[in-house]
A and B are shown apart, each in its own frame.
Chain A
Amino acid sequence: ELKVEQNPLFLSMQEGKNYTIYCNYSTTSDRLYWYRQDPGKSLESLFVLLSNGAVKQEGRLMASLDTKARLSTLHITAAVHDLSATYFCAVDRGYNNNDMRFGAGTRLTVKP
């Protein structure tokens, strides 16, 4: 059974600081996804990582995937208030149906 663990679950940061969110998963997969959810809203897709060593960047967010370690990271550089949201990682089981298992989410709060 595929399990996906994120940490931390809650993260409070000062603006301008850097931090990393970790996503570990329990079985072999080379397909990992990051999503963002704003309060009261649905999820939107941020990054799609489809191979070992994949790195994607968008603004102050950078995601990477190490399939051998079964680990993905979401790095935040020089945080700003607009990044406050809940971030989810999700792992595709790899059975060609694209069904994913999600982590519990990391609630990020960026304070001035």
Chain B
Amino acid sequence: DVKVTQSSRYLVKRTGEKVFLECVQDMDHENMFWYRQDPGLGLRLIYFSYDVKMKEKGDIPEGYSVSREKKERFSLILESASTNQTSMYLCASSLQLAGYTFGSGTRLTVV
């Protein structure tokens, strides 16, 4: 089975800190994604990547950046964390025309 591993299950950060969320997948998937999940809003796409060093903005990229230096790793960076970035962050990977495999999620609280 494909496994997608997110480095932290829970994080608490202070306003203004730079935050790194790491995601690693072990099945050579081309596509990787970062979503945030908020109650009543479903999942919203922040960034995605379809190849090493390639990245595309999703619907809510403001305040975030990403890095994909290796195929298996896709990092989400909050440049200067703010309280409105408190959320559940979900990483996913996929092959073309396949359903996503999601990581277990990182619940980030910014205080």
Q: Which residues of A contact B (CB under 8 A)?
A: 4, 31, 33, 35, 41-48, 50, 88, 90, 92, 96-105
Contacts and interface: CB of A to CB of B under 8 A. Distances in A.
B109 interface: no
Contacts of A35: 99-100
A15 to B, nearest CB: 27
Given A45-B99, A98-B96, 14 more contacts: A33-B100, A42-B105, A43-B102, A45-B100, A46-B99, A47-B99, A88-B42, A90-B100, A98-B31, A98-B97, A99-B31, A99-B48, A99-B58, A104-B41
A86 to B, nearest CB: 10
B91 to A, nearest CB: 9
Contacts of B102: 42-44
B79 interface: no
B101 A97 contact: no
Contacts of B44: 102
Given A42-B105, A45-B100, A97-B56, A104 B42 contact: yes
